[in-house]
Amino acid sequence: MVIGRRESSARAHAAKARKRMEVPRDPEPRRVLDGELLCTLQIHEASGQVRRWVVRQGPRANNIRVTAKNREVVCGWDKLMRSLRKRLALSKRVFD
């Protein structure tokens, strides 16, 4: 039996609709509380040095608190990634 393109598409849409109905969802997105742990970034450098940043939710929805070396900075993910790129990306790497 050969299934036409429209029939298989309709079956796929029906299966997705059934799956959506089976999974209960929250009525609205959950707000992450200020200070809640989001992740820990840890980098092992080739020199053997280990750097660790603890990332927590900031006071606003688009802010994070980054703690490293007993110093805390409130910023956004973009600023954190820009600063990491400056520290980690080198134009030339020389290994002995």
Flag whether 16 is in a domain.
no
Counting the structural domains of the chain, the total is 1
User: What is the structure's pLDDT at 30?
Assistant: 79
Flag whether 7 is in a domain.
no
User: What is the structure's pLDDT at 94?
Assistant: 64
Cα(68)–Cα(82) distance, integer angstroms: 16
Residues 6+ away with beta carbon under 8 Å from 42: 50, 51, 52, 53
Flag whether 8 is in a domain.
no
User: What is the structure's pLDDT at 91?
Assistant: 65
User: What is the structure's pLDDT at 28?
Assistant: 76
Q: Looking at the whole model, is its pTM more than 0.75?
A: no
Flag whether 32 is in a domain.
no
Domain ranges, residue 62: 37-88
* Average confidence (pLDDT) per 10 residues, the chain, 96 residues: 68 87 75 93 88 94 93 94 81 63
User: What is the structure's pLDDT at 40?
Assistant: 96
User: What is the structure's pLDDT at 68?
Assistant: 92
Q: Contact, 50 vs 44, CB < 8 A?
A: yes
At residue 77, what are phi and psi to the nearest 5 degrees? -65, -35
